[in-house]
Each structure stands twice: as structure tokens, then as C-alpha cells.
Amino acid sequence: MARGGGRQRGGSSGGGSSSREQEEDVDRSLEELSEEEEEEVIIPRHTDGRMILDPTGLWFKSQTVVRGVTTSTQENMTHGVTCWSNSSDENKEMWFNNFRRVFYCPTDLERLLWQRYNDIGKKRLRDNMYKVSRRKKAPSFMKGASYEEFTKYRNSPEFKEGSARNKINKRGGEKDAEVEPTHYGGSQSFHDRVLSSAKKNKGKMPTIVDLFVDTHTKKTSKGKLIFRKAKDQDLYDRFLVRKKNNPDIDDNELWFDLVEGFQRGDVYGAGTAKELYYDPPARRGPSSQQQSYTPGIVSQL
């Protein structure tokens, strides 16, 4: 885990065998970013030495923080975890505590911190475990029998059946169909697009509808917006009708009602930026039909 906010230099000196160098290359590939890509920033510190997390400063857009999430899930990995969903609540709490040993967050942002940590943790653990599956040897962070349990599960009929089913589902039920992108956002996350837009507009955040249009359409040479999917065009048209009939209601609130709030923890069209707009529901809260609109902490700020 990142220590002290400075760079960590983990490479080896020359002279090792080619097999050793290959092994080190694989281990480095499991890291979130290469050293050359790591950002040069002055990181604010709490009195106890931890790096301070704040949506208006150092946050999950930072490479340092994302790498901290990745590393926190690698500590104490002593059994065959394959993905976030099959990890126990105890494991997730342990990983979160690992993360908090290095990063400090104000008490009033704890809920937002947990939400964002879960979002990033899912992706980083998934990508990390996929890379592990591509190699023939246990990485250094998998202790004891964890690697054996991991490979045993991935080779099981249960896993292979589910994997094959998911591949077909991603292709709309057609085994050989191409997987169509869901948006035009490129490699930049929705979260980062919002922050970039706010920076360009003197701190003013785009509405969730602005974000939806930005990430789900492209412009023709004549300036006409083209949605990738017909259902997205229909959704946008329905929003415009609601806005016309309710001009005084906040766009974010209208959108939240239109897409029926949180669905499986996500708000349609918001992607990784959902916590910037909406306060997440309680873990075992009401169904989407009963959800009420509550502005996110960041949008209130």
C-alpha cells in the first residue's frame, strides 16, 4: 500500500535470469499503474500522517488512491477469492480498514467513502483476479492455499458454465455477436468527466442529463445528436417532456424519478459518477419504487 505519498521504487537491478525478469514483469502487470504514469502531486496529510481524502481535492480520480484500493484488497488474501460478489462481508470490511490505515476521510463523508471504495474495489479486484488467471504461478500477494482454491474454482464446471452464459448474455443472446459499447465516453470514467467539466466551468457541475447526453451521443457534422441506442433516445425524449411540464424541478431530481432511482446500486446514465449526484440508499433500504430523491454530498457542496 502506498506509504508517505512518495513514489515507491520496486524494480530490481540488472543481472537476474530471464525467467526471473519475466516473473517480475508479470508481478508489475498486476499493479494499477506503472511508475512513469504515477502522478506527481503534493498530498495533504492528516495529523496522524494519513493522506486526506476529500471530493474537492485528493479523491478516487487520483492514481495514488486507486492504487491504494488495489493494494488494500491484496493484503490478508488467504483464501480463494475470485470476485467481489463471492467475498464475505468480513473480507470487505478488512480490506476497507486496510485502506483507511493509509487514507483519512472526514466523518461526514464516511458513507460516500464506503460507496466509492466498493465501486472501485469491484473493478480492481475483478481485473486483478483476471490477470492472476492468465499466469501459471501464484502472485506474491496470494498466501497459503488461496491460489490453489482460486484455480480450482475457475476450473470447476460451475464457473465455466456461468462464464459461458455471461459471454452469451453480453452479446444479446447470440454466441458470435459483437459486444456493442454502451456509450461514447471513451476510457475516461463518468466520475472524471464530471470533475473535468466542473473544472472547465469554474466549479459548476453538469447536470446528470448533461452527462447522459455527453456520454451517450455523438454529433454529426451538422451538430445533430445521435444516440447509440434507441432506448436512450426514447429516455431523453421522455425527460424533455417532463422538463417542459415541470420547469421548476431540478433536472437531477426529474432524471432520478424517470429512471426509477437506484437499480442494483446504480442510477442509469450516471455510471461511476452516481455518488456525485445522489445520496446512496441504505444497504437494506426500500425498493426503487419507494425511493425519494436526495442530492449527493458533492452536489450539495
pLDDT digits (tens, 9 = 90+) for 111-169: 889 888 988 898 888 888 888 888 878 888 887 777 888 888 888 888 778 777 777 77
Q: Of 105, 75, 67, whose CA–CA distance to 92 is shortest?
A: 75
Select the more confidently predicted residue: 246 or 139.
Answer: 246
The full set of domain ranges for the chain reads 18-170, 190-300
Query: What is the C-alpha to C-alpha distance for residues 105 and 110, in angstroms, rounded to an integer?
Result: 7
Which residues contact residue 167 at a Cβ distance below 8 angstroms, ignoring those fewer than 6 apart?
A: 175
- The pLDDT of residue 178 is 57
Mean pLDDT over 218-237 rounds to 85
- The pLDDT of residue 195 is 75
CA distances from residue 120 to 70, 126, 279, 292 in whole angstroms, order as listed: 8, 10, 17, 25
- The pLDDT of residue 222 is 78
pLDDT in tens, 18-35: 444 434 433 443 443 334
Query: What is the C-alpha to C-alpha distance for residues 131 and 55, in angstroms, rounded to an integer?
Result: 30
Is residue 283 over pLDDT 50? Answer: no
Q: Helix, strand, or coil here: 52?
A: strand
Query: What is the C-alpha to C-alpha distance for residues 221 and 269, in angstroms, rounded to an integer?
Result: 25
Query: What is the C-alpha to C-alpha distance for residues 94 and 191, in angstroms, rounded to an integer?
Result: 26
Select the more confidently predicted residue: 131 or 191.
Answer: 131
Average pLDDT over all residues of the chain? 75
Cell of 198: 466542473
- The pLDDT of residue 282 is 60
CA 218 to chain centre: 24
- The pLDDT of residue 298 is 58
Query: Looking at the chain, which runs of residues are DSSP E strands?
Result: 51-52, 103-104, 217-219, 225-227
pLDDT band at 186 (very low <50, low <70, confident <90, very high): low
Task: Answer for the pair 98, 141: CB distance below 8 angstroms, yes or no.
Answer: no
pLDDT band at 251 (very low <50, low <70, confident <90, very high): very high
- The pLDDT of residue 15 is 42
- The pLDDT of residue 86 is 78
pLDDT band at 4 (very low <50, low <70, confident <90, very high): very low
pLDDT in tens, 39-88: 445 788 999 999 999 887 788 878 889 899 999 988 777 666 778 887 88
pLDDT band at 245 (very low <50, low <70, confident <90, very high): very high
Q: Helix, strand, or coil here: 217?
A: strand
Which residues contact residue 149 at a Cβ distance below 8 angstroms, ignoring those fewer than 6 apart?
A: 79, 80
Q: Of 215, 212, 257, whose CA–CA distance to 236 is shortest?
A: 212
Q: Report, in angstroms and rounded to the nearest whole number, the Rg of the chain calculated over CA atoms.
A: 22
- The pLDDT of residue 241 is 95
Select the more confidently predicted residue: 199 or 97.
Answer: 97
- The pLDDT of residue 1 is 40
Select the more confidently predicted residue: 266 or 287.
Answer: 266
The CB-side HSE value for 171 (13 A sphere, CA atoms) comes to 12
- The pLDDT of residue 161 is 83
